Amino acid sequence: MDGSIALWMFGAVFIVLLMGYPVAISLAGTALVFAFAGDYFGIFDAAFLEALPNRLFGIIENDTLVAVPLFVFMGVMLEKSNVAESLLENMSKLFGSLPGGLGFSVVLVGMLMAASTGIVGATVVTMGLLSLPTMLKRHYDSALACGTICASGTLGQIIPPSIVLVLLGDVISSAYQQAQLDMGIFSPETVSVGDLFAGALIPGIILVILYLVYLAGLALVKPSVCPAIPAEKLSTSLFIELVKGLFPPLILIMAVLGSIIAGAATPTEAAAVGAMGATFLAYLKKQLSIKQLKDVAQNTTQVTSMVFFILIGASLFSLVFRGFGGDELIEEFLSNLPGGAFGAVLVVMLVMFLLGFVLDFIEITFVVVPIVAPILLAMDINPVWLGIMIALNLQTSFLTPPFGFALFYLRGVAPASIKTSQIYRGVIPFILIQLFLLALLAVWPDLATWLPNIIYNN
Q: What's the pLDDT tens digit per position in 361-401? A: 777 888 888 888 888 888 888 999 999 999 999 888 888 88
Q: Is the pLDDT of residue 449 over 80?
A: yes
Phi, psi of 288 (to 5 degrees): -110, 125
Half-sphere exposure in the Cβ direction for 92 (13 Å, CA): 19
* Parent domain of 131: 84-456
Task: Compute the mean pLDDT over every residue in the chain, rounded to the nearest whole number.
Answer: 83
pLDDT tens across 112-131, in order? 777 666 666 667 877 788 78
| Domain presence at residue 10 | no
Half-sphere exposure in the Cβ direction for 137 (13 Å, CA): 8
Per the structure, how many domains does the chain have?
A: 1
Instruction: Report the alpha-carbon distance of residue 390 to residue 125 in Å, rounded.
Output: 23
Instruction: Report the alpha-carbon distance of residue 430 to residue 150 in Å, rounded.
Output: 9
pLDDT tens across 103-117, in order? 888 888 888 777 666
Total-model pTM: 0.83
**Per-residue pLDDT averaged across 56-71, rounded?**
82
What pLDDT band is residue 458 in, cutting at 50, 70 and 90?
Answer: low
**Per-residue pLDDT averaged across 92-107, rounded?**
79
Would you state the pLDDT for residue 179? 82
Instruction: Report the alpha-carbon distance of residue 203 to residue 336 in Å, rounded.
Output: 31
Chain mean position to CA 282: 25
**Per-residue pLDDT averaged across 320-337, rounded?**
83
| Domain presence at residue 59 | no
Report the chain's terminal Cα–Cα distance, integer Å: 40
| Domain presence at residue 413 | yes
**Per-residue pLDDT averaged across 434-449, rounded?**
93
Instruction: Report the alpha-carbon distance of residue 296 to residue 278 in Å, rounded.
Output: 11
Q: What is the 3-state secondary structure (H, E, C) of the chain?
A: CCCHHHHHHHHHHHHHHHCCCCHHHHHHHHHHHHHHHHHHCCCCCHHHHHHHHHHHHHHHHCCHHHHHHHHHHHHHHHHHCCHHHHHHHHHHHHHCCCCCHHHHHHHHHHHHHHHHHCCHHHHHHHHHHHHHHHHHHCCCCHHHHHHHHHHHHHHHHCCCCCHHHHHHHHHHHHHHHHHHHHCCCCCCCCCCHHHHHHHHHHHHHHHHHHHHHHHHHHHHHCHHHCCCCCHHHCCCCHHHHHHHHHHHHHHHHHHHHHHHHCCCCCHHHHHHHHHHHHHHHHHHCCCCCHHHHHHHHHHHHHHHHHHHHHHHHHHHHHHHHHHCCHHHHHHHHHHCCCCHHHHHHHHHHHHHHHHCCCCCHHHHHHHHHHHHHHHHHCCCCCHHHHHHHHHHHHHHHHHCCCCCHHHHHHHHHCCCCCCHHHHHHHHHHHHHHHHHHHHHHHHCCHHHHHHHHHHHCC
243: exposed, middle or buried (Cβ count in 10 Å: 0-12, 13-18, 19+): exposed
Question: CA separation (Å) from 109 to 146, 211, 432?
Answer: 15, 13, 22
| Domain presence at residue 232 | yes
Would you state the pLDDT for residue 435? 93
Instruction: Report the alpha-carbon distance of residue 131 to residue 197 in Å, rounded.
Output: 28
**For 36-50, 67-81, 240-254, 323-337, which range has the lowest pLDDT when averaged over its residues?**
240-254
Would you state the pLDDT for residue 232? 46
- Residue at 434: amino acid letter: Q
| Domain presence at residue 78 | no
What pLDDT band is residue 206 in, cutting at 50, 70 and 90?
Answer: very high
Would you state the pLDDT for residue 238? 62
pLDDT tens across 142-191, in order? 999 999 998 988 887 888 877 788 888 888 988 888 888 877 776 777 78
| Domain presence at residue 442 | yes
| Domain presence at residue 20 | no
pLDDT tens across 2-52, in order? 567 888 888 888 888 778 788 788 888 998 999 998 888 888 888 888 888
**Per-residue pLDDT averaged across 85-92, rounded?**
74
| Domain presence at residue 14 | no
